[in-house]
Structure 1
């Protein structure tokens, strides 16, 4: 057992290193305002208003900073848009505005404590040993296997550890739910765990529906414990603690709701006009709420004790004795490839049998510290650390690895790349998937095509590093991608995803959607996010914007580093019917090695004749959005009209070596006197008589009129990395114009 103890020591060291890093750099930051001192009884209680609901667990450690002063404290209440804190010392009676820091490292502290308990428990150490060294022979009877579900049921009956490799669309949720249901029908106790609330909700929802269809559901047998993200459907049974409480003790549930409503009203009174009477009433309510919540807590512990199937997050399981003090017949960890190895070990120690399910070809766990033990144990998954992946790399499947090998999500033209290059032909397509995706494929943009590379080569040098985050943005590609969303929507598609490696680019797209597409989003599922946020989701149409291009001299590590294969795999495999890859083919061929997944994807799409080039832009852009227009860059009537009708300001970017034609000089010089001209250029441009100059040489030209109308790609004389046809874009968006100006013009 010494090996397990040495593992645990390393895990605890890794977790401590991550905690130290998070304490120094990793707090979540919130702005709080209108702080009032409520009480000085024991500690100093303060009430603050917040701009959003914080969702910080009661009892969490926080830090409050006000000017040069800093105080440690705890959260007493964080319901709604108001938070009550207990601080160690007084900040005075009133605090106009302060910054609240919440440290997520407390959850890791709980995990360290659980690992200490495993050290002292021989049975638990043995379970961890079998997880980390699954070299025992596989004992399940092969001749009895009838289906995927049946094989997993048998494996988890006869073997202490089963690894399930579930590539995208291969029925992972379906298989796990039915396996858990089978254990339930045998009256086994099952614990379902995942790192995310969403994954727990999805799996428990599938499981509940299946048991219900079999007419074998008993209220209280299936429990969603902790904070759930999903909403209960009309025909689904009660499985959350809130629903069960409502059904089994409605008076206690009503008392809680009434007290919370009373507190909300008192907080509103305090926000309007602060009074001692309101303060006393609020503190009295907090005491009553605490008593009711303790009663509810005792009820919840009873619910856990009585349930056969419990679903909860890994973090909640490690922090709540109602879970970690129990032993289950089977523990199922979903999306295990995103869990820390010590989390998987803690989970395995809770069950006589454990099923570890995930896809080690998708994104690994996220940790911030660069410590070597953190890299080893917190930034790689259990499949790698238990040696299962080594077998796959040698061309074999580990005896305890069960592969779900038939995907039903992606059209075969999309999965052709991932099946071959990512999954090495171990995964194939179900016969139904082509036919079931035809309706999406037939829709615009690019009717009757499922996989498309929209090539942005030689359209200009638009790839920049954002000023604040140092994340990359590409304004040309984000506008092109927005137009692809627009055409998808016009063709009747309502499930559309935009995904990119860079947070700044995702936020820029979200800004555009908020400004131009609010109404359409009310009746469509349109989301813009980073690849990391998209794992576990799927959409009919996916637009993958790689962002990379000139004037950058190399592609970023997100797309070329150690985990780039996994990131690109996730980006592609979210798609059901239409995968649109917006990428600069020339830049990628110039700056990305042939063995890298991004280069392979580009080469594959070119070879399969899936490319749409810049010269084709006029053929596929059929329906211009009212606020985003694409036009030939040599036709200047519209831009000159915007310049002539400018009311307050013109900002123009003129890259190095720009030579303006007499026509441009005349239009810019004949502006109204009240119209202020700002030139962004390394040259002085005295002939334009600018009111202000930003001495910075950008790589692309643009004009912003009245902080509202953006002309991208004009004046054409300032463009670089460009070949015919010459295209310019006009965007009518105050928000995007303001964002771009904030990148290039420092506010004075």
Structure 2
């Protein structure tokens, strides 16, 4: 029996097939479970407080006001120096401008943008610090779990037991109340996509009776739309609903789908105006403003969209907030907001709907399930990325890195799907063109996905391999072990420029497994004035999004002896395989795989998903020469220049003489002193020292110094050791950092059309290259 056949059969067959119902870990009590989850949250709090890389202080380059709201409040968009994670959303923040500190709340965090609602500070802000309390939300979640352990009778523990598979649940015959279902299926609908398909109909009907329903929604299959239809059906039956997801964007997406489902129904319009549907938090979508709690509070002249902690003590504001939350029939918010809002925690709902449930940390799932009396519906894709945490201890980490599908026994530890009557798989995908979908359909979804032929015409080409082999691109790593590849980054930038030249309206995304590479590409895009046109991020930060064109940068290349762990996975249960699945399935129309194909074919394991994808694209798609795209990037940025060996010494000497006049600092990689022209460079560096310029020499800690480096050290140059990557006998980099003036970046294995060096004089890229080569603790 195929996966599709037993997960999405005829609806009646789904209901009566209980023979192979799986019961998972029924020996554990709910109290023991909650205690373990509470301990895991406590461990995460400790880990975040100890993590040197945590974002308590986040540097913002600039900020602009994007919207004014009532009561002298405003929403600001901050451009950050480093990538941020959506887990920052709903956390309290203090904006430190250097002159004043202003409190606010993070409402959006993704890529290099943070949106904050705070007091109106004018149209724009300069560089500032965002001081974010990362543990505030976790501490409130910890308190909620403690309260549930201490007073279980005040909560719906039976619901949480059912969700986690701690008690058996009987099969059901479905509900005769199909008002919403029949309405959604109206024949007069202009689009087939506006009506539920057979799997979606099964999910809608099962959701009316099943104590717990799992909706498996692979990419583009309408999972959120299905949950919106379920929400509509629940509300029409008079049930109260708590709808949650992991980010504000995801919550807004679900609410938008719900509004699309109800259309222009006059009864719904009246009920929305009365507060029947409530959005906690802040939304930036105009169509959702009538749903905001703050909008209703303002209408009653009681409060503003954000009430800071001091003003929450006002009795009128408290009473009105409590009243609105108590009377709303459907409340939508993030997981974090649901766990932290004191009045929502006091409410009990009939139904809990969790969107993006495969990314929801288990402590949230348990705590919120215990707020619901009747049923829970979880929608997600367990073949995409699971929750992540900083905890290293195995016992606590398993409760934070496991998704609810696996914990409840829907998925076995080896990734195989278990036959369950209360699991519905959505199989008709509307996002990707067929060739893109087929890259993951068989290896990740056992061929169950189908793409409607009438969706849109197939393009002549949609799969591309951008081969960097001709570049002899050199991979490297930072002191924190994140990989980067300068030549590969240039290829991505050049490709982006070409795509946007051909179609300025094309929505492009650049995805990579490594933080360092994402930051480098983002810096290059900033220097090319493209950072606001193109989304670049690691795969973990791209889940839930889509773009017409996706560029996936593999990064890894010689001289690494093996590919990184993010690229090696072959089994659907492996996180690296799920990561690649997410990367590929963000693409709607075009997918560009950037990588050194020769290296990847030699080094990838035989069962690796990336090997399978690489071979299919090579056989079915178009192969592009990456070296030509590097030329596009260089030609479009005057501050970047390839320099030949013949011109290198003269141009570098000119830069160093200018540094002498500016009395800045100069940092060089020690291997440069080994070259034939190393003596001339040593003389120049000695003159810089005599002129009062700081000279720093970066060298491999396990390799002996060249005599020229030793002589410079005796003359006052500082020596900074760098740890060699494993398997490397020497550093391949030939790098010179000249204050704020220029960066020279070369490699013994990266000649390009006779050029050995890349000279960079653009600010963002210079800063990022210096940061990547900066020594770190333990490196």
CA displacement at 1:571 relative to structure 2: 1.3
CA displacement at 1:11 relative to structure 2: 2.7
1:188 equivalent to 2:188? Answer: no
Q: Are the aligned partners of 2:354 and 2:377 in contact in 1 as well (CA < 8 Å)?
A: yes
- Matched residue SS, 2:174: coil
- Matched residue SS, 1:188: coil
CA displacement at 1:244 relative to structure 2: 1.4
What is the RMSD of the two structures over their aligned residues, measured on CA atoms? 4.4
Q: Are the aligned partners of 2:281 and 2:337 in contact in 1 as well (CA < 8 Å)?
A: no
CA displacement at 1:495 relative to structure 2: 1.9
Mark the runs of 5 or more structure 2 residues left unpaired by the alignment.
Answer: 1-25, 60-93, 107-116, 122-128, 186-195, 660-665, 700-704, 722-729
Distance in structure 1 (CA, Å) of the matches to 2:644 and 2:321: 69
1:110 equivalent to 2:143? Answer: yes
- Aligned partner (choices 324, 349, 352) of residue 345 of structure 2: 324
TM-score, L = length of structure 2: 0.71
Structure 1 segment 353-392 matched on structure 2, within 5 A? 353-390=375-412
Structure 1 segment 118-129 matched on structure 2, within 5 A? 119-120=152-153, 124-125=157-158, 128-129=161-162
**1:388/1:135 Cα in 2 relative to 1: closer, same or farther (>3 Å)?**
farther
Structure 1 segment 11-410 matched on structure 2, within 5 A? 11-25=37-51, 28-30=55-57, 49-50=96-97, 55=104, 103-104=135-136, 105-116=138-149, 119-120=152-153, 124-125=157-158, 128-129=161-162, 131-132=164-165, 136-140=170-174, 147-148=196-197, 149-215=200-266, 216-217=268-269, 218=271, 219-228=273-282, 230-233=283-286, 238-247=290-299, 249-250=300-301, 252-253=302-303, 289-292=311-314, 294-349=315-370, 350-390=372-412, 397-410=419-432
CA displacement at 1:336 relative to structure 2: 0.6
Correspondence for 2:658: 648
Q: Which has the higher contact order (CA 8 A, sep 6+)?
A: 2
Q: Are the aligned partners of 2:491 and 2:633 in contact in 1 as well (CA < 8 Å)?
A: no
Distance in structure 2 (CA, Å) of the matches to 1:613 and 1:726: 17
Describe the superposition over 1:502-547 as per-residue Cα deviations: whole angstroms up to 9, x where unpaired: 2222222222233331xx455x3x2222211111111222222222
TM-score, L = length of structure 1: 0.74
**1:630/1:710 Cα in 2 relative to 1: closer, same or farther (>3 Å)?**
same
CA displacement at 1:182 relative to structure 2: 2.4
- Aligned partner (choices 547, 552, 556) of residue 555 of structure 2: 547
- Aligned partner (choices 516, 528, 533) of residue 516 of structure 1: 528
Distance in structure 2 (CA, Å) of the matches to 1:99 and 1:305: 33
Correspondence for 1:497: 509
Distance in structure 2 (CA, Å) of the matches to 1:680 and 1:386: 52
CA displacement at 1:238 relative to structure 2: 0.3
Structure 1 segment 424-573 matched on structure 2, within 5 A? 424-435=446-457, 438=459, 449-457=461-469, 459-460=471-472, 462-467=474-479, 469-491=480-502, 492-517=504-529, 520-521=530-531, 524=533, 526-560=534-568, 562-573=574-585
**1:31/1:304 Cα in 2 relative to 1: closer, same or farther (>3 Å)?**
closer
CA displacement at 1:603 relative to structure 2: 2.9
**1:117/1:78 Cα in 2 relative to 1: closer, same or farther (>3 Å)?**
farther
Distance in structure 2 (CA, Å) of the matches to 1:449 and 1:704: 42
Distance in structure 2 (CA, Å) of the matches to 1:477 and 1:302: 56
Describe the superposition over 1:229-253 as per-residue Cα deviations: whole angstroms up to 9, x where unpaired: x3132x5560001111233x24x34
Q: Are the aligned partners of 1:461 and 1:700 in contact in 2 as well (CA < 8 Å)?
A: no
Correspondence for 1:626: 637
CA displacement at 1:705 relative to structure 2: 6.5
Correspondence for 1:273: none
**1:24/1:709 Cα in 2 relative to 1: closer, same or farther (>3 Å)?**
closer
CA displacement at 1:360 relative to structure 2: 0.5
Distance in structure 2 (CA, Å) of the matches to 1:537 and 1:303: 32
- Matched residue SS, 2:386: coil
Correspondence for 2:88: none
**1:123/1:227 Cα in 2 relative to 1: closer, same or farther (>3 Å)?**
closer
| 367-376 vs 676-685, greater mean Cα deviation | 676-685
Distance in structure 2 (CA, Å) of the matches to 1:673 and 1:656: 17
Distance in structure 2 (CA, Å) of the matches to 1:224 and 1:551: 55
Aligned length: 644
Q: Are the aligned partners of 2:476 and 2:485 in contact in 1 as well (CA < 8 Å)?
A: yes
